[in-house]
Amino acid sequence: MNDRSGAAALRRRFRIEWAWVAALATAILTAAVLGQWTRPADDLLYDAAMRIAPAEADSDILIIAIDEPSLAALGRWPWPRGLHAQLIDRLTDARAASVTLDLLLSEPSADDAALAAALQRSGRVHLPMQFVQPGRNGKAFDRLDPAPLLARAAAGTGHANTPIDADGTVRSALLCFEPDPATGPEPHLMTLGADPADGPSCLQPQRLRFVPPEGFATVSFSSVLRGEVPAALITGRRVLIGMTAQGLGDRYPVPVADGGNMPGVEINANIANARSSRHWVRQPHALAALAFTLSPAWILLIAFWRLRPRAVNLLVLALAAAVLVISITALAFDLWIAPGPAMLGLALVYPLWGWRRLQATSDYMASELAALEREEALPLGGPGPADTDHVTRQAGQLAGAIDQLRDLKRFVGDTLAGLPDPALVSDMSGQIVLTNAAADTAFGSDLAGKDAAALLASMALPAVSSGLAAYLADPAHRHMEFETRDRRSFVLRRAAIVSADGSLRGHIDYLTDITEIAEARAERERMLQLLSHDMRAPQAAILALVGQQGGEIDRTRIARHARQTLTLADNFVDLARMQERPFEPEPVIASDLASEAADSLWPVAQQRGVQVTVTDESDCAFVAAERESLFRACVNLIDNAVKYSPDRGQVTVHVDIAGGMVRIAVRDEGKGIDPAILPYLFQRFASERAGTAVKGVGLGLNYVAAVAARHQGTIEAINQPTGGAQFILSLPLDE
């Protein structure tokens, strides 16, 4: 592909991408408006806007508050209903326009007759009912009406349910509640006595524009009751009586409470205020809301073709500020246009196209084109057609260089991908720039940018890391074999990448997995070691004893060497079997198994006068074990203890429970364990690996370690301060 065709392809690609971003943003924003995806964020913005543009309080509304001074003067709540009757009479005498007693008086009381008489004398008192959802005994709701005597005396009853949004904030009022379609809707307490046509539809929650906290005229219950409030302050007003004291609980979070709560009577006052002054917050038609949402996004999309990236940054800020200002201004006129979808549009369109396509792409291509021109002298072409934007002209120049490098990259990539083993290509700084599928499978798929030498060194065992690092620094030999931390074996070959002028440009590290070969080689060595030393030595001793001239044959020593050979053979065979068969445990009493193992060694111990004592402090605890292999492991431990104990010594087998594990501790009175072999004690042929002359540390303890691991337990060996060695076999308790 030449320069002209590459630039044309890029121009077509950018136009298609612009159309794709515009279509995707339009679809997402349409779904956000119709599905109210940004409702939580819009509610928070609504709360903030409400504090900026609150409603004005109706001067005809008066709240008589059951506040802290009233509680201090009249006693603890609830009060006798005779006090409410006295207050109603005072309001009647003062000629209040209406009285709403915002108290749920559902339980009958001895003072109901007095209160009912006061309600009848007034003829203007409304009482609340409440619907509790869900109801008891599987009902959808429970209805709580005023006491029958009070309900008959009241001028009317209405529901006082307060709808609460998902975040726990009250933002709207439910002017009707329809518990049963057959009986029709129940009006809200604050709509009683209003014209049916007054206010919007009552079946849908209506958003409130709240008055600031304590914005309504408010007097204390006790002050009115004592006659301290002039009648002129009450005459002609709509009076609401309710609780405002902090401890009475009738409080709800509202948008204008600055993180606090508003009493329910004050919320009802806001509902009455909205009904009288038409402060219901309306919402625009869906098409109008969609147009408001899409306008900033499309303005930004069009600006991308004409403005430079830094100018687009300022435009985004200006559009975001305009969206917020329009929403707050509209709320001042009782219209809420949710700004969330429009803000989402700016947040979606700008990263997809503006930032990534203009600012980042322009800066990157400018620097890369300059570097290519200096380093490679590639023909990058002219400035490009004048009918395209700044970034597209830069992309046209880059397309010419990419065309020349694409064939080489494809060749290198195909060659590398075809290699069967892991290969890592690193640059001059040692960072990995290219891998093949085998490397991704072996080391992970996110290798790009990592240091190749550090990666290989982190794989190797600490003992060979320094040698590996030296080889990577100067690969004088053709290859190096090393073992990784997860016990895999590799052969590493490092080759230099040399440019046409002979300068070094990087390295290729090629690894061949030889784990199976290394394991087979190690197993062969172990087999040869077993046959040539541990099993050969007892047989040679037997032949020497049999071939002695004169005297009687030492049958005891021959039997001991024969038993040693059999033990080695049994351990070797059992180790092989354990690796091939599944783990099939059964409940076993640990102390009984230890006793059986000790009893089986009684003849051996008796010959030397060694006493084996088994003590049980585990209360006959069970372990889930393979009886045969665990029995042999205990025999090996006790046999070693008897073997290394002095004549007429003492071997103690102690069984107890610690930390949810059953412990079998075998202790002898011998010389202890040579510190040189202690770190390698449970490995095969530990004595030879440590370079000591101690015999008998071959397969026996390695078998015990394998049994412990198979039972998800542990085995440890320590030298006692008072002399002798102690082996502790810990197994999970079977509960």
pLDDT bin (cut points 50, 70, 90) of residue 408 is low
Closest CA to 88 of 219, 225, 242, 243: 225
pLDDT score at 694: 38
Q: Rounded CA gap, 309 and 724, in Å?
A: 81
pLDDT higher than 90, residue 319 = yes
Upper half-sphere CA count for residue 613 (Cβ side, 13 Å):
10
pLDDT score at 203: 72
| Calculated CA dihedral for residues 516, 522, 524, 529, nearest 10 degrees | -170
Of 325-329, 454-458, 615-619, give the lowest mean pLDDT range. 454-458
Quick check: 115 and 88 in contact, CB under 8 A? yes
Query: Tens digit of pLDDT for each residue in 555-603?
Result: 666 666 566 566 666 666 565 555 556 778 889 998 899 999 889 888 8
More confident residue, 438 or 568: 438
pLDDT score at 481: 73
Query: In one letter, which amino acid is 645?
Result: S
pLDDT score at 557: 62
Quick check: 74 and 82 in contact, CB under 8 A? no
Exposure of 430 by Cβ count < 10 A (0-12 exposed, 13-18 middle, 19+ buried)? middle
Both tokens assigned to 436: 């093949």
pTM of the predicted model as reported, rounded to 2 decimal places: 0.48
Of 12-21, 163-172, 325-334, 576-585, give the lowest mean pLDDT range. 576-585
**Quick check: helix, strand or coil at residue 118?**
helix
Question: Which residues are 665's β-sheet partners?
Answer: 654, 728
Longest CA span, the chain = 141
Q: Rounded CA gap, 535 and 548, in Å?
A: 21
Query: Tens digit of pLDDT for each residue in 30-56?
Result: 999 999 899 888 888 888 888 888 888
pLDDT score at 525: 63
**Quick check: helix, strand or coil at residue 434?**
strand
Upper half-sphere CA count for residue 236 (Cβ side, 13 Å):
5
Q: What is the mean pLDDT of residues 137-161?
A: 87
Quick check: 722 and 667 in contact, CB under 8 A? no
Q: Rounded CA gap, 309 and 300, in Å?
A: 11
pLDDT score at 566: 63
Question: Which residues are 188's β-sheet partners?
Answer: 159
Name residue, tokens 């540390």: 697
Instruction: Write the DSSP assignment of 521-552 as a string of letters.
Output: HHHHHHHHHIIIIITHHHHHHHHHHHT--SS-
More confident residue, 148 or 426: 148
pLDDT score at 696: 41
**Quick check: helix, strand or coil at residue 401?**
helix
Domain boundaries, the chain: 3-46+284-368, 56-278, 375-413, 418-513, 514-581, 584-732
SS3 of 582-640: CCCCEEEEHHHHHHHHHHHCHHHHHHHCCEEEEEECCCCCEEEECHHHHHHHHHHHHHH
Q: What is the mean pLDDT of residues 625-650?
A: 88
pLDDT bin (cut points 50, 70, 90) of residue 366 is low
Upper half-sphere CA count for residue 105 (Cβ side, 13 Å):
32
pLDDT higher than 50, residue 2 = no
Residue range 584-732 forms a domain whose CATH class is alpha beta
Q: What is the mean pLDDT of residues 619-642?
A: 87
Sign of CA dihedral 166, 169, 171, 177: positive
Q: Rounded CA gap, 347 and 203, in Å?
A: 36
pLDDT score at 714: 92
Instruction: Select the CATH number that applies to the domain covering 418-513 from these four: 3.30.70.920, 3.40.640.10, 2.30.30.100, 3.30.450.20.
Output: 3.30.450.20
Query: Tens digit of pLDDT for each residue in 687-729?
Result: 444 443 333 445 678 778 888 888 889 999 999 888 889 999 9
Measured distance between the N- and C-terminal CA atoms of the chain, rounded to whole angstroms: 74
Q: Rounded CA gap, 121 and 124, in Å?
A: 9
Q: How many CB atoms lie within 10 A of CB 124?
A: 21
pLDDT higher than 70, residue 159 = yes
Exposure of 168 by Cβ count < 10 A (0-12 exposed, 13-18 middle, 19+ buried)? exposed
Of 279-288, 444-453, 605-614, 685-694, give the lowest mean pLDDT range. 685-694
Across 87-91, 504-508, 602-606, the highest mean pLDDT is recorded for: 87-91
Both tokens assigned to 603: 């003849």
Query: Tens digit of pLDDT for each residue in 225-248?
Result: 999 999 999 999 999 999 988 877
Phi, psi (5° rounding) for residue 609? Answer: 75, 20
pLDDT score at 197: 40
pLDDT bin (cut points 50, 70, 90) of residue 390 is low
Q: How many CB atoms lie within 10 A of CB 258?
A: 10
pLDDT score at 685: 55
Q: Rounded CA gap, 589 and 591, in Å?
A: 6
Give the mean pLDDT of the chain. Answer: 79
Q: Percentage of the chain surpassing pLDDT 70?
A: 74
Query: Tens digit of pLDDT for each residue in 423-436?
Result: 878 887 878 887 77
pLDDT score at 3: 43
pLDDT higher than 90, residue 87 = yes
pLDDT score at 653: 93
Q: What is the CA radius of gyration of the chain?
A: 45
pLDDT score at 150: 92
